[in-house]
Amino acid sequence: KYYPPDFDPAKIPKLKLPKDRQYVVRLMAPFNMRCKTCGEYIYKGKKFNARKETVRSEAYLGLPVFRFYVKCTRCLAEITFKTDPENTDYTMEHGATRNFQAEKLLEEEEKRMQKEREEEELNNPMKVLENRTKDSKLEMEVLENLQELKELNQRQASVEFEAMLKQHKAPEEEQRRKEQE
């Protein structure tokens, strides 16, 4: 490429792009969903050419929130969802409904149970003692079960190498004896 001697790169005008510009990106569906218009199931991992934009009014601890626009594979209706950095997940906005997630409900239930237990322990010192003894008993039972399983495996896994060698050599010796006869 030829650059003339009086070329100054600072004189080239900068391209002014809007802040809320949309990019076309290739992404996979982050969760199972069902289109509201046609009822088509879109499974997690389905690839889409999507439009991505930064949501101006939202941020979490300095992390930007992105919105994605995808089209249903059957009816081409627009489906939008955005990132949720607070919960390290995605939130559905419109165009589809998110399918049931058993794992998420289980985690929420465990958190709720843990919170209830902590609140109960704060108010009642006897409950703290009861929970500790219950936990230690459970731990002891688990250790006993583990020890029993180890012993059972050791009994079943005892290998006698001499017997195996004799068993393997017996057909060979019998064949030699037949050849000699």
Q: What are the tens digits of pLDDT across the range 57-114?
A: 889 999 999 999 999 999 999 999 999 999 888 999 999 998 877 777 888 899 999 9
CB within 8 A of 134, min separation 6: which ones?
Answer: none
Q: Is the pLDDT of residue 157 over 80?
A: no
Q: Is the pLDDT of residue 158 over 80?
A: no
**Six-digit token string for 48:** 């889409």
Q: Is the pLDDT of residue 42 over 90?
A: yes
Task: Give backbone dihedrals phi and psi of 27, rounded to 5 degrees, phi first.
Answer: -140, 165
Q: Are 46 and 73 in contact (CB under 8 A)?
A: yes
Q: Is the pLDDT of residue 154 over 90?
A: no
The pLDDT, as a whole number, for residue 155 is: 81
User: pTM above the 0.85 mark?
Assistant: no
- What does the alpha-carbon distance between residue 136 and residue 122 come to, in Å, rounded to a whole number? 20
Choice between 19 and 21, residue whose per-residue pLDDT is larger:
21
Choice between 102 and 41, residue whose per-residue pLDDT is larger:
41
Of 71, 45, 46, 56, residue with least CA distance to 22? 56
**Six-digit token string for 50:** 């999507």
Secondary element (H or E) of residue 66: strand 63-71
